[in-house]
């Protein structure tokens, strides 16, 4: 039965990692769905958020799970401000310009972090970092379990916001019909900025959930965003449900291919899936036709 236990434990680990991947993908897919651009600064923003957790812990002694209540509103405000006062004015209403501005931002953020923190890899020590909980024959890492549950809660909150609040409805309206929304009294620039802020807020939460078990260096965000990009394509560009299901699938695939092909080849399965999706279902699992 040892074989089955190992398989189940890899599966559980994959699901737990996948939930955090899903959270990172949510922000990416939301911004894509509404602004119709890939936010190239997504990875750098995640890195910045992870450093923010590091600073909160080392300088202010704040636990990551408490820091989430400070960093989430802070990153929402930063995302809002950057879109409203930097990206939007610099883009002159041209989508390809937005793309380049976010690319520029990512370079600035990454190099600022590199200048400030050097390229060292750092991590934080929390008392519960290695605690486990026993479920049947499985030992599950407590911080990963927390991340799993929290990611679902965030996805649910995001869905409630989009489905049931006026702001959420305005976000969905702007996504498909800017002019109609403006004529209904929606301030399109404001809604763009709110969407960007939500994307950044998701990353702040993801950073707080990751840091207890993960390390940070100035380029760490890119590794996650490459995976997140695969998830967004797999789930369907702009689809919230797609990001969630896609995240879990990718997490499991990575974990299982790590188990069978060895740790260093863990990501091979992800990119195999990426290519297969592009070949056979380019709109993704939940994606509508472009």
Partner 1 sequence: MLEISNLVAGYGGVPILRGVSLSVGAGEIVAVLGANGVGKTTLNRAVSGLIRASSGDIRFDGQSLIARSAPDIMAAGLIHVPEGRKIFPNMSVFENLELGSYRRARANRARNLERVFGIFPRLRERSGQFAGTLSGGEQQMLAIGRGLMAEPRLIIMDEPSLGLSPLLVEEMFALIARIAAEGLAVMLVEQNVVQSLELAARAYVLENGAVVMAGSAGDLSRDPRLMTTYLGM
DSSP conformation letters of 205-240:
HHHHHHTTT--B-TTHHHHHHHHHHHHHHHH-TT-H
Tell me how long the chain is: 290
Under rule CB under 8 A, residue 166 binds partner 1: yes
Comparison of 9 and 167: residue with beta carbon closer to partner 1: 167
Under rule CB under 8 A, residue 180 binds partner 1: yes
- Euclidean distance between CA atoms 268 and 169, whole angstroms: 39
- How many of the chain's residues bind partner 1 (CB under 8 A)? 17
Under rule CB under 8 A, residue 58 binds partner 1: no
- The two structure tokens encoding residue 272: 């195999």
Comparison of 173 and 249: residue with beta carbon closer to partner 1: 173
Q: How far apart are CB 66 and partner 1 at their closest, in Å?
A: 36
Applying CB under 8 A, which part among 50-58, 177-185, 197-205, 249-257 lies near partner 1?
Answer: 177-185
Under rule CB under 8 A, residue 175 binds partner 1: yes
Contact 148, 19 (CB under 8 A): yes
Contact 79, 201 (CB under 8 A): yes
Under rule CB under 8 A, residue 93 binds partner 1: no
- Helices (H), strands (E): how many in the chain? 12, 2
Comparison of 50 and 170: residue with beta carbon closer to partner 1: 170
Comparison of 122 and 172: residue with beta carbon closer to partner 1: 172
Under rule CB under 8 A, residue 185 binds partner 1: yes
Under rule CB under 8 A, residue 177 binds partner 1: yes
Under rule CB under 8 A, residue 94 binds partner 1: no
Show Cβ contacts of residue 200 under 8 Å, excluding neighbours closer than 6 positions.
27, 45, 49, 75, 76, 78, 79, 82
Contact 36, 99 (CB under 8 A): no
Under rule CB under 8 A, residue 170 binds partner 1: yes
Under rule CB under 8 A, residue 184 binds partner 1: yes
Phi, psi of 134 (to 5 degrees): -95, 120
Under rule CB under 8 A, residue 172 binds partner 1: yes
Under rule CB under 8 A, residue 85 binds partner 1: no
- Euclidean distance between CA atoms 241 and 272, whole angstroms: 22
Under rule CB under 8 A, residue 122 binds partner 1: no
Q: State CA 85 to chain mean position distance.
A: 23
- The two structure tokens encoding residue 277: 């999706």
Q: How far apart are CB 173 and partner 1 at their closest, in Å?
A: 5
Q: How far apart are CB 170 and partner 1 at their closest, in Å?
A: 6
Q: How far apart are CB 244 and partner 1 at their closest, in Å?
A: 19
Out of 30, 101, 181, 211, the only residue in the binding site for partner 1 (CB under 8 A) is 181
- Euclidean distance between CA atoms 257 and 49, whole angstroms: 29
Question: How many CB atoms are located within 10 Å of the residue 208 CB?
Answer: 28
Comparison of 84 and 169: residue with beta carbon closer to partner 1: 169
- Euclidean distance between CA atoms 248 and 14, whole angstroms: 7
Give residues in contact with partner 1 (CB under 8 A): 166, 169-170, 172-173, 175-177, 179-187
């Amino acid at each position: 039965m040892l074989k089955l236990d190992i398989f189940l434990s890899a599966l559980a680990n994959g699901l737990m990692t996948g939930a955090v991947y899903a959270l990172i993908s949510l922000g990416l897919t939301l911004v894509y769905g509404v602004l119709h651009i890939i936010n190239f600064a997504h990875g750098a923003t995640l890195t910045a958020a992870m450093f923010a957790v590091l600073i909160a812990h080392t300088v202010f002694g704040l636990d990551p799970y408490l820091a989430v209540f400070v960093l989430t509103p802070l990153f929402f405000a930063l995302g809002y401000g950057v879109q409203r006062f930097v990206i939007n004015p610099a883009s002159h209403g041209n989508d390809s310009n937005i793309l380049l501005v976010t690319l520029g931002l990512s370079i600035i953020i990454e190099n600022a972090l590199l200048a400030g923190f050097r390229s060292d890899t750092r991590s934080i020590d929390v008392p519960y970092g290695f605690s486990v909980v026993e479920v049947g024959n499985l030992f599950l890492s407590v911080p990963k379990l927390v991340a799993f549950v929290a990611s679902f809660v965030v996805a649910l909150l995001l869905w409630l916001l989009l489905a049931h609040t006026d702001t959420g409805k305005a976000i969905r309206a702007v996504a498909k019909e800017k002019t109609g929304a403006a004529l209904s009294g929606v301030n399109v620039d404001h809604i763009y900025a709110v969407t960007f802020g939500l994307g950044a807020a998701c990353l702040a939460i993801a950073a707080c959930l990751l840091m207890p078990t993960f390390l940070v260096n100035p380029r760490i965000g890119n590794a996650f965003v490459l995976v997140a990009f695969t998830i967004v394509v797999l789930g369907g560009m702009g689809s919230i449900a797609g990001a969630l299901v896609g995240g879990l699938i990718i997490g499991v695939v990575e974990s299982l291919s790590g188990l069978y092909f060895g740790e260093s080849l863990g990501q091979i399965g992800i990119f195999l899936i990426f290519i297969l999706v592009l070949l056979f279902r380019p709109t993704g699992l939940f994606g509508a036709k472009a």
